[in-house]
């Protein structure tokens, strides 16, 4: 029943998106006549740190991403403060249109495959037609490929699957400041204990401050209300810098989340900033014009 509910929410979300897309197509024609300007470059990349940003990969552009997380700083000098350990995600994002992008990735952490779709519903604009916010819909599916812990019992393929749905709402207040919030649902088909929730609801907050034309500071925080997570799990908090160098964007950051997909950094973060449970990491983005 929970799977059916999630699928119903997923389909409803994208039916709404399709309807709004048709309306926006007519409005786009009016935009050209009214000299409306679409607000762009709210973030330097389509990720803030872990979270997706309001930005999309441009139409016909392939974005090759390498995301890297070292071990926790609290591991001390014997592990070179985490640098002796690492997990990695390699992904490909592609812009199907100016509003629609898709992506696929593989993470070494829990040997996870993930795929997602993101659609820009509303675009912030100025001029004759002023729209104060940008809104995007995001949905993803992930599959853990590690062997089942108990192969002798009856195991189901569906137990490997996890889902996420998110609404991304953002406003670029000026060339130097962007703020974003993202109500999020993560559904896990299989959890460790009966007391653990299959559905985890959260609210994510993110922001960007532009320091120079090529340098920006980013921050994000994901709040999960009490009662949904087991003791020991914490809210994710990340802080980092974006450095743009031609066709590359380097994102250097610190985060208490090990996983680089929604199932992990929303619902399964264990690091504690106060105890040094923080990972140093980076994202590297290289874009190629395909079409």
- Supply the pTM of this predicted model: 0.82
Q: How far apart are CA 37 and CA 96, in angstroms?
A: 22
Nearest to 52 by CA among 170, 162, 198: 170
For 6, list phi and psi in degrees, rounded to 5: -65, -45
Q: What is the DSSP letter of 147?
A: P
Structural domain count, the chain: 1
Q: How far apart are CA 69 and CA 282, in angstroms?
A: 7
Q: What is the pLDDT of residues 207-226, one digit of tens each?
A: 999 999 889 999 999 999 88
- By 3-state DSSP, what share of the chain in percent is helix, strand and coil, each rounded to 5? 20, 45, 35
C-beta atoms surrounding 117 within 10 Å: 17
Q: How far apart are CA 291 and CA 57, in angstroms?
A: 13
User: In angstroms, what is the C-alpha Rg of the chain?
Assistant: 19
Domain at 283, CATH number? 2.40.160.40
Domain holding 94, by residue range, is 2-289
> What pLDDT, on a 0 to 100 scale, did the predictor assign at position 73?
84
What is the full per-residue pLDDT of the chain (291 aa) written as tens digits? Answer: 445 444 444 444 444 445 444 455 545 544 554 588 988 889 988 999 999 999 999 999 999 999 999 988 887 887 787 787 889 999 999 999 999 999 999 999 989 999 999 999 999 999 888 899 999 999 999 999 888 777 778 788 888 899 999 999 999 999 999 999 999 999 988 877 777 778 899 999 999 999 998 899 999 999 998 878 778 889 999 999 999 887 678 899 999 999 999 998 998 899 889 888 899 999 998 888 887
């Amino acid at each position: 029943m929970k799977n059916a509910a999630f699928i119903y929410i997923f389909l409803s979300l994208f039916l709404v998106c399709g309807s709004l897309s048709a309306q926006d197509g007519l409005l786009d024609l009016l935009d050209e006549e009214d000299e409306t300007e679409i607000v762009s470059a709210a973030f330097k990349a389509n990720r803030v740190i872990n979270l997706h940003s309001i930005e999309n990969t441009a139409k016909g552009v392939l974005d090759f991403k390498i995301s890297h997380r070292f071990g926790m700083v609290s591991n001390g000098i014997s592990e070179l403060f985490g640098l002796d350990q690492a997990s990695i995600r390699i992904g490909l994002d592609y812009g199907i249109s100016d509003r629609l992008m898709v992506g696929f990735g593989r993470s070494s952490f829990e040997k996870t495959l993930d795929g997602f779709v993101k659609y820009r519903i509303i675009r912030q604009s100025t001029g004759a037609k002023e729209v104060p916010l940008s809104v995007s819909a995001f949905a993803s599916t992930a599959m853990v490929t590690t062997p089942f812990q108990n192969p002798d019992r009856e195991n189901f393929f569906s137990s490997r699957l996890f889902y996420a749905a998110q609404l991304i709402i953002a406003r670029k207040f000026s060339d130097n400041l962007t703020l974003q919030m993202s109500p999020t649902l993560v559904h896990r088909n299989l959890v460790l204990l009966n007391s653990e929730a299959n559905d985890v609801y959260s609210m994510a907050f993110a922001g960007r401050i532009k320091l120079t034309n090529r340098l920006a500071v980013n921050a994000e925080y994901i709040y999960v209300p009490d009662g949904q997570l087991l003791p020991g799990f914490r809210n994710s908090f990340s802080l980092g810098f974006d450095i743009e160098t031609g066709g590359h964007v380097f994102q250097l950051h610190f985060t208490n989340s090990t996983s680089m997909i929604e199932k992990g950094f929303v619902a399964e973060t264990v690091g504690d900033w106060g105890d040094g449970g923080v990972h140093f990491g980076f994202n590297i983005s290289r874009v190629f014009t395909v079409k």
